[in-house]
Amino acid sequence: MIPVQGFEGAKVAVLGLGRSGLSAARALRAGGAQVLAWDDNPAAQEAAHEEGFEIKELFREGAFDDVASLIVSPGIPHLYPSPNKVVAAALRAGVPVDNDIGLFFRSLSGSNWASYDQPPKVIAVTGSNGKSTTSALIHHVLEEVGRDVQLAGNIGRGVLDIDPPGDGGVVVLELSSYQTELARALTPDIAVFTNLTPDHLDRHAGLGGYFAAKRRLFAEGGPDRAVIGVDEDEGLFLAGQLAEGRGDDRVIRVSAKGKLSGPGWMVFARKGFLSEYRKGKQAGSIDLREIKGLPGVHNHQNACAAYAACRTLGLAPKVIERAFHSFAGLPHRSQRIGEANGVAFVNDSKATNVDSALKALLAFDNIRWICGGLEKDGGLDGLASGLGNVVKAYVIGREAAQFSLGLEGVEAEVCTTMEAAVARAAQEAEPGDTVLLAPAAASFDQYDSFEKRGEDFIAQVKRHIGG
């Protein structure tokens, strides 16, 4: 645990008592604060009460009269589409509002750091897509080379639940826009921006607000190094704002769309090859095509970002390459389950929308595609450019017949259940085919979550290939 500094003897309110809220409450108490906790959910209140926290109705008149700060969980709106009533009450009372990420950065350093040969470093990763894989890949590479490394934030453990990092330790954080938007302290040593696509627009009042929330990670604390994906206009703009000139190697530009040029530091992927250039000369390269845990252009972008972050820590290109080869991928994200008789089985249950499913379709050839579920607004037209890779679709979900009608030009079989879909795909697959679960739909018509859907796929595949 990272005990929170700066609130000893003070009253601090915590709104939202899920994973991050309870973690913050515990860390505040460990640092000597008196915690006042609230959640609209009675079960969450009871859980906090059983841990000894005082439950207080923070929306009541005068609730913030003697409170030093309000700590808000990520899912609770503080501005758009409208402020939560407790947040509004705190702001009216002039009480600072923060979150667990802000508490983490203000509390990470310890008095023993002065005796360390190498002070610990924090690598923070944000962006719309790929931040989980990028964070996990950085963590994996550092583990493989024997570094003291911890993974936290949106992935791994809560940021305040980790152990205080030791001499030369590294903390890798995956941060969402909800987290970067509100944190009062954001001071990573290395900050990574993967890309930007429209998401959470209601929460941020549009794409500009969403980008502004991400940009805070780079603007508030000024990281020593910034790794910026420049395949969208926002990334280009951010890199331009951070760099003092064309040759400023504090900014590492990353692309998966083609070669980058210039005197600066850049890492890009083209035709399956990662290249690193610095001061106009090639400094490293990796053939990504043979790395099974990183299939497709979208994962090549993740690889470039992770490679760049690891290079800032002094790791050699060949060392990073070896670690890439042992990366198995994240569960439910282009996760290779196994292979039998020349047929590969891949679980991308996290592909819950058309954009993410398209990336999966473009990553493989000769696809036996398991798709379907609770269809989202906008239809399936956005999949068109990837359908040429599909040999046949096996459609699941309660509305499988209706879903299959949107797959124009693709042979589709209505299977309804995962069991039937995997059985048919495995039966019909030929050597060189990939049986791919990439639903392009939410899971809630049949499963509690995309994770449960992916676990069912894995279980059915193992029935057919063993393991």
Distances in Å between the alpha carbon of 294 and those of 176, 272, 290, 324, 348? 22, 10, 9, 8, 12
**Structure token digits, residue 286:** 């990796």
CATH class of 335-465: alpha beta
- Cα–Cα distance for residue pair 20/137, rounded to 1 Å: 23
- Cα–Cα distance for residue pair 172/156, rounded to 1 Å: 10
What DSSP string describes 289-330?
Answer: GG-TTS-HHHHHHHHHHHHHHHHHTT--HHHHHHHHHT----
**Structure token digits, residue 419:** 């069991």
- Cα–Cα distance for residue pair 342/453, rounded to 1 Å: 25
Residue 409 burial (CB < 10 Å; 0-12/13-18/19+)?
Answer: exposed
| Per-residue confidence (pLDDT) for residue 467, from 0 to 100 | 62
| Per-residue confidence (pLDDT) for residue 328, from 0 to 100 | 85
Q: Tell me the residue type at 105.
A: F
Q: Are 384 and 332 in contact (CB under 8 A)?
A: no
Q: What share of the chain is helix, strand, coil (3-state, %, to 5)?
A: 35, 20, 40
* 130 appears as a binding residue in the annotation: yes
* 388 appears as a binding residue in the annotation: no
Q: Are 250 and 242 in contact (CB under 8 A)?
A: yes
Q: Are 264 and 239 in contact (CB under 8 A)?
A: no
Outline which parts of the chain fall under CATH 3.90.190.20: 335-465
Residue recorded with tokens 């500009």: 208
Q: Is 74 helix (H, G, I), strand (E, B) or coil?
A: coil
Outline which parts of the chain fall under CATH 3.40.50.720: 11-98
Q: Are strands 225-229 and 149-153 parallel, antiparallel or unpaired?
A: unpaired
Evaluate the CA torsion angle 146, 151, 156, 160 in order and state its sign: positive
- For residues 313-344, one letter each, b for 16 or more C-beta atoms within 10 angstroms of the residue's C-beta and e for the rest, the string is bebebeebbebbeebebbebbbbebeeeeebb
**Structure token digits, residue 394:** 């096996």
pLDDT per residue, tens digit, the chain (467 aa), is 999 999 999 999 999 999 899 999 999 999 999 999 999 999 999 999 999 999 999 999 999 999 999 999 998 999 999 999 999 999 999 999 999 999 999 999 887 898 999 999 999 999 988 899 999 999 999 999 999 999 999 887 899 999 999 999 999 999 999 999 999 999 999 999 999 987 778 889 999 999 999 999 999 878 999 999 999 999 999 999 999 999 999 999 999 998 999 999 999 999 999 999 999 999 999 999 989 889 888 899 999 999 999 999 999 999 999 999 999 888 888 888 999 999 999 999 999 888 889 989 999 999 999 999 998 777 898 999 999 999 999 999 999 999 999 998 999 999 999 999 999 999 999 999 999 999 999 898 999 899 999 999 999 999 988 76
Q: Are 24 and 103 in contact (CB under 8 A)?
A: yes
* 349 appears as a binding residue in the annotation: no
Outline which parts of the chain fall under CATH 3.40.1190.10: 103-325
Domain 11-98 = CATH 3.40.640.10: no
* 245 appears as a binding residue in the annotation: no
Q: Are 118 and 168 in contact (CB under 8 A)?
A: yes
pTM: 0.88
What DSSP string describes 422-456?
Answer: HHHHHHH--TT-EEEE--SSBSTTT-SSHHHHHHH
| Per-residue confidence (pLDDT) for residue 379, from 0 to 100 | 84
- Cα–Cα distance for residue pair 273/259, rounded to 1 Å: 10
Beta strands in 154-242 (DSSP E): 170-174, 190-193, 225-229
- Cα–Cα distance for residue pair 369/415, rounded to 1 Å: 12
User: What are the pLDDT digits (tens) for 256-303?
Assistant: 998 999 999 999 999 999 999 999 999 999 999 989 889 888 899 999
Which residues are CB-contacts of 247 (< 8 A; sequence separation ≥ 6)?
262, 263, 264, 279
* 126 appears as a binding residue in the annotation: no
Residue recorded with tokens 């006042």: 36
| Per-residue confidence (pLDDT) for residue 331, from 0 to 100 | 87
Q: Which fold has domain 103-325?
A: UDP-N-acetylmuramoyl-L-alanine:D-glutamate ligase (3.40.1190)
Q: Which of 49, 9, 36, 30 is nearest to 103 (CA)?
A: 30
- Cα–Cα distance for residue pair 367/411, rounded to 1 Å: 12
- Cα–Cα distance for residue pair 440/444, rounded to 1 Å: 13
**Angle 210-215-216 (CA atoms, 0-180°, nearest 5)?**
105
- Cα–Cα distance for residue pair 316/190, rounded to 1 Å: 17
Residue 5 burial (CB < 10 Å; 0-12/13-18/19+)?
Answer: middle
